[in-house]
Structure 1
Amino acid sequence: MATFTTTDGTTLFYKDWGPRDAQPVVFHHGWPLSADDWDTQMLYFLEQGYRVIAHDRRGHGRSDQTDSDNDMDTYAQDMVELARALDLKDAIHIGHSTGGGEVARYAARAEPGRIAKAVLIGAVPPIMLKTEANPEGIPLEVFDGFRASLIANRAQFFLDIASGPFYGFNREGAKVSEGLVQNWWRQGMSGGAKAHYDCINAFSETDFTEDLKALTIPVLVLHGEDDQLVPIANSAHLAIKLLRNGTLKTYPGLSHGLFATHPEVINPDLLAFARA
């Protein structure tokens, strides 16, 4: 296992494959998963000659099960430190869902020369929560329900998400992959319950508006038009308006977990952006 320890003493697991002198592509996973969620994309980019990296966010997967500091500022700082430790230069950062929020905050704070491009897939920015400034957002009661379900029966809650809205397997006529469901559940249950609980606040209530406005690098925004967890109207359609150098591409009928259900569609789009 490859690990590194942050300045606050937290040990993080990461994968680092491919030539060390190749351009790095760094993957940021969603809640409550791990770096394993990106295996298909990592193998794809590895075959294209890139160096591919993915870490388990603190509290998730094989990283320390932290009981505090499970917030976006800390997640972004962890990436600053990992990028420095691995001496990543001109990296392409790809984030899904919560990981998309992490990418946005990291990109706004990255050390000079560390990041070249960013991709937000089914990502939570600008902000998920319904507020006075974001009246079309998701009511707080929904996220309170997430927290209550996690406390009551985390294992069943995670199974319900994976077998239902995450991949759109609750839609009529959906082709269900039991492997994807079980792999989602496996990743989720390997992380820490306290960190997962705290991260609900991090992904739902963090406002990334200023982060998006600050970015000057090219940013590709990809989103499934049938995303039931991060509705496109309150995320991608708003985020693209805040980006100075953004490109939006949406996919009719695809779900929140579109890169897992349709890698043959998403991977070439990612590669084309990386090479542009």
Structure 2
Amino acid sequence: MNYVTTKDGVQIFFKDWGPADATPIVFSHGWPLSSDDWDAQMMFFLARGYRVIAHDRRGHGRSSQVWEGHDMDHYADDLAAVVTHLDLKGAIHVGHSTGGGEVVRYLARHGEKRASKACLIAAVPPLMVKTSSHPGGLPREVFDGLQLQTATNRAQFFRDLPAGPFYGFNRPGAKPQEGVIQNWWRQAMMGGAKAHYDGIVAFSQTDFTEDLKKINLPVLVMHGDDDQIVPYSESGPLSAKLLKKGILKTYKGFPHGMPTTQAEVINADLAAFLKA
């Protein structure tokens, strides 16, 4: 298996498929999953001549289950370690949910010299939690509850989340896909409870406002208006406005996990953006 060791000694697992000289697409996954969550995208773009790369965030999947460093700065630095290790140039960065925050912080913190475009899918920026300057955010108690469930009954919590709001399977008329639910649970349980616990603070309390303003690349912002995890009104549209070259694409009725359940639509629209 492929690993890169970070400056603080963490082993980050990554997949690297496709021709070395092809245009690279780098995928950053959501909480509390792994690079496996990008299977539908990686196979789609691999078949279209791209080089596709995805890593497991520290504490997640096959990467080291360290007890510290579960914050956006370390996430961004770990992504930079993968990019530098592979000497990627002109990379397209795609991030889902927490991975979208990782991509934004990476571009703002490490610069754009190795990147060409980015895409944020159902991403957490600019800020999830409610504050005095961000009154539309979710109450702190929501995230406290997520941490409590992660710390005390993670296995059941990680079954209930994909079976319900993550993929919109709790909506009237929805048809839950058992394989999708079990794959979510499998990925999540591969990671460490401490990383998942701290990651909730990272994705909910990090303010990406200034990071978004620093990005000069074209960025496609994709968000479903029925996202029950990262509410649409306080995320996608606001991020698109803060970006210099932000393009907002709204999906009526799509859930948070739309890269999986609506992969055909998401892949086609992302492909069109990459060619534009």
TM over 0.5: yes
Give the Cα separation in 2 of the matches to 1:231 and 1:267.
Answer: 22
Q: CA deviation at 1:112?
A: 4.7
Residues 34-73 of structure 1: CA deviation (Å, up to 9, x unaligned): 0000011000000110000000000000000010010000
Give the Cα separation in 2 of the matches to 1:29 and 1:84.
Answer: 19
**Which residue number corresponds to residue 191 of structure 1?**
191
Residues 4-51 of structure 1: CA deviation (Å, up to 9, x unaligned): 111110001000000000110000000000000001100000011000
Tell me if structure 2 keeps the 8 A contact 1:221–1:236. yes
Residues 158-191 of structure 1: CA deviation (Å, up to 9, x unaligned): 1110100000000000021111100000000000
Q: Which of 102-111 and 24-33 deviates more?
A: 102-111
Q: Which of 225-234 and 106-115 deviates more?
A: 106-115
Q: 1:208-219 to 2 correspondence within 5 Å? A: 208-219=208-219
Count of matched residue positions in the alignment of Structure 1 and Structure 2: 276
1:126 aligns with 2:126: yes
Tell me if structure 1 keeps the 8 A contact 2:136–2:234. yes
**Which residue number corresponds to residue 12 of structure 1?**
12
1:29 aligns with 2:42: no
TM-score by structure 2 length? Answer: 0.99
Q: CA deviation at 1:113?
A: 2.4
Q: CA deviation at 1:111?
A: 4.4
**Which residue number corresponds to residue 245 of structure 1?**
245
Q: 1:1-276 to 2 correspondence within 5 Å? A: 1-276=1-276
Tell me if structure 1 keeps the 8 A contact 2:91–2:117. yes
What's the Cα RMSD here? 0.7
Give the Cα separation in 2 of the matches to 1:110 and 1:44.
Answer: 28
Give the Cα separation in 2 of the matches to 1:175 and 1:254.
Answer: 14
Partner AA of 1:72 in structure 2: M
Give the Cα separation in 2 of the matches to 1:111 and 1:209.
Answer: 16
Give the Cα separation in 2 of the matches to 1:225 and 1:272.
Answer: 21
* Structure 1 moving runs of 4+ over 3 Å: none
SS in 1 for 2:153: helix
Structure 2 unaligned runs (5+)?
A: none
Give the Cα separation in 2 of the matches to 1:11 and 1:264.
Answer: 33
Residues 184-219 of structure 1: CA deviation (Å, up to 9, x unaligned): 000000000000000000000000000100001000
